[in-house]
Amino acid sequence: MRRVLLLALFVTGALTFGACKPKVKPGECKSSADCAKQEGYGKVCVEGRCQECAADTDCKDGFACRDARCVPKPQCTTDDQCGPGQSCVNEQCVARQAGTCGSDRDCGPDQQCQDGKCAARAPQASAACADAGAFTVRFGFDQSNLTPDSQGTLQKLADCLKGAPAKRVVAQGYADERGTTQYNIALGNRRAEAARKYLEDLGVQGKMDTVSFGEEKALCSESTEACWAQNRRVEFEVDR
């Protein structure tokens, strides 16, 4: 009798346990195996929900996983991945608006892309014109007037700037260590202005500015005439 009673209790407990076992709700999952048993939902378990994909490898060739869905792989992420005359919009290569450009390759052989539009390519400076340091001019003691040698140097610079115009030219004036700081700043400015005006008189166009460093940024620090002569100068910064 006792065995029958124990068996009945065991069967009753088993049935009760089976009845209380939680069921997976439609579309929910603990593993991808739960999704495989459900129709109308994705086959991959992603954060407790059956989704179409969790990674690109869950999609077929030519598709990528985006927001748990398989979508066609993007054609591009940057304009460089598209062909000439195209730009990347929403990961697709589309025809660029007429007259616009994203890089020089969207323009003709003699053009370059400037501010999103094709423009004539600027002439390139020759090797002789590329080194702005070759056009440094020097001055006599306490002088801001240009010597014949300085004028000849500036003529060469003017020819280079007219052949290959620059975006901006800055004449930088300097002085030797003699004199007060304030005086040397003013002297360097007069020298820079003299060089700028001479280039302008020679027909150089475009933006030309001046700046004075006075006795700062000296090329040498010896208290000799040879050293002072090196420091009395105007140098040029050419932005192409």
Domains of the chain as residue ranges with CATH: 26-73 (no CATH), 79-120 (no CATH), 127-239 (3.30.1330.60)
Mean pLDDT of 107-136: 81
Report the predicted TM-score, pTM, of the whole model to 2 decimal places: 0.54
Rounded to the nearest integer, the mean pLDDT of the chain is 86
**Which residue, among 72, 27, 24, has the nearest Cα to 50 in the 3D structure?**
27
Helix ranges, 28-79 (H) = 32-36
- What are the residues whose beta carbons fall under 8 Å from the beta carbon of 10, sequence distance 6 or more? none
Distance CA 9, CA 218 (A): 104
Give the pLDDT band of residue 6 (cuts 50, 70, 90).
low
- The region of weakest confidence among 14-28, 124-138, 154-168 is 14-28
Mean pLDDT of 16-36: 74
How far apart CA 42 and CA 50 sit, in angstroms, is 5
